[in-house]
């Protein structure tokens, strides 16, 4: 467990990139509020390093979402890690259009990506530096991307788009693999499996979407360029607002 800091940094990108996956980015198909909790395991079905929690809301015009990743159990005793990512922007007929993406690493200066769709340019503010990159229609940040990936479900073709993180803007390819049954803490799911690959080879993701839950992501398996694997498995999925004074039921 001495490598926990490195592994959790690795976990952050996976959790942030695909913890929010939903098929059909259109407001009519996307639940207006929800939460997903994941176990974060080191290696396929390996020991647990931590947890990832994702929440989102939208009103059909604008959206907000947040993902929190932190160590738990023995890992937390060895290394305390807390990482937050936020995305906000507009809901369009074609999907989501991010306007601001923020990374909050406890004890560090905020990292911010600001999208200027009029100029088709994104500005990434990190460590007192500003990096700019070109935007194209449909490009996403690592949280909003997940909704766009879900919209590909059931399509035989591959999609290309640029993914904006708090560091870079990286071209990526997403394709549908097909149906596959997976056994998870939340239950046994007849899921749709997707693959996402960064063009520079730095990241490979396998994502299982649950058609019975609006194609929400119930499992995310990530392999980095060094062959290390993180496995995120849904523990609970909650849709709709949480009633005051009562626990929200998971489906």
Q: Residue 136: which of 94, 188, 108 has the closest Cα? A: 94
State the chain's mean pLDDT as an integer. 79
| pLDDT recorded at residue 60 | 86
Q: Which residues of 82-103 are buried (b: 16+ CB within 10 A; e: fewer)?
A: ebbbbbbbebeeebbbbbebbb
Phi first, then psi, for residue 223 (nearest 5°) are: -120, 125
The mean per-residue pLDDT over the stretch 110-119 comes to 96
Phi first, then psi, for residue 219 (nearest 5°) are: -150, 140
Residue at 116 is within a domain: yes
| Count of domains observed in the chain | 1
Confidence of residue 76 (pLDDT cuts 50, 70, 90): low
Q: What is the CATH number of the domain that holds 186?
A: 2.50.20
Pair 220, 204: CB distance under 8 Å: no
What is the residue range of 58's domain?
A: 4-239
Phi first, then psi, for residue 144 (nearest 5°) are: -65, -25
> Residue 31 gets which letter from DSSP?
-
Residue at 249 is within a domain: no
Pair 196, 157: CB distance under 8 Å: no
Residue at 122 is within a domain: yes
d(CA 159, CA 25): 15
Residue at 193 is within a domain: yes
Residue range 8-39, pLDDT digits in tens: 544 444 444 444 343 333 444 778 899 999 99
d(CA 87, CA 98): 7
Residue at 246 is within a domain: no
**CA 163 to each of CA 39, 99, 242: distance values in angstroms, whole numbers, following the listed order:** 24, 13, 31
Confidence of residue 155 (pLDDT cuts 50, 70, 90): low
Vertex 62: Cα angle to 246 and 234 (nearest 5): 50
Residue at 247 is within a domain: no
| pLDDT recorded at residue 3 | 52
Return the number of other C-beta atoms located less than 10 Å from residue 169's C-beta: 19
The mean per-residue pLDDT over the stretch 157-167 comes to 79
d(CA 251, CA 246): 16
Residue at 250 is within a domain: no
Pair 113, 101: CB distance under 8 Å: yes
Confidence of residue 121 (pLDDT cuts 50, 70, 90): very high
Three-state DSSP state, 89: strand
Residue range 180-237, pLDDT digits in tens: 999 999 999 999 888 878 888 777 778 888 888 888 888 988 787 678 888 889 999 9
Residue range 39-55, pLDDT digits in tens: 988 888 888 889 999 89
d(CA 248, CA 237): 10
Residue at 251 is within a domain: no
């Amino acid at each position: 467990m001495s490598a926990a800091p490195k592994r959790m940094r690795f976990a952050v990108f996976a959790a942030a990139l695909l913890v929010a996956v939903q098929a059909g980015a259109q407001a009519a198909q996307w639940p207006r509020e929800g939460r997903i909790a994941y176990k974060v395991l080191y290696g396929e079905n390996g020991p647990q390093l931590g947890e990832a929690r994702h929440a989102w809301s939208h009103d059909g015009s604008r959206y907000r979402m947040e993902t929190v990743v932190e160590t738990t159990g023995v890992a937390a005793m060895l290394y305390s890690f807390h990482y937050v990512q936020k995305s906000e922007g507009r809901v369009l007929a074609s999907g989501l259009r991010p306007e601001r993406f923020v990374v909050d690493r406890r004890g560090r200066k905020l990292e911010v990506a600001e999208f200027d769709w009029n100029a088709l340019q994104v500005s990434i503010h990190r460590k007192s530096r500003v990096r700019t990159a070109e935007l194209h229609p449909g490009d996403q940040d690592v949280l909003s991307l997940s909704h766009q990936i879900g919209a590909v479900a059931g399509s035989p073709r591959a999609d290309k788009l640029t993914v904006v993180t708090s560091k870079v803007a990286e071209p990526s390819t997403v394709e549908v693999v097909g149906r596959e049954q997976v056994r998870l803490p939340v239950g046994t799911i007849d899921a749709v499996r997707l693959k996402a690959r960064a063009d520079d080879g730095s990241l490979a993701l396998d994502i299982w979407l649950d058609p019975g839950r609006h194609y929400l992501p119930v499992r995310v398996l990530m392999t980095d360029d060094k062959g290390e694997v993180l496995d995120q498995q849904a523990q609970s999925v909650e849709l709709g607002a949480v009633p005051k004074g009562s626990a929200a039921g998971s489906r």
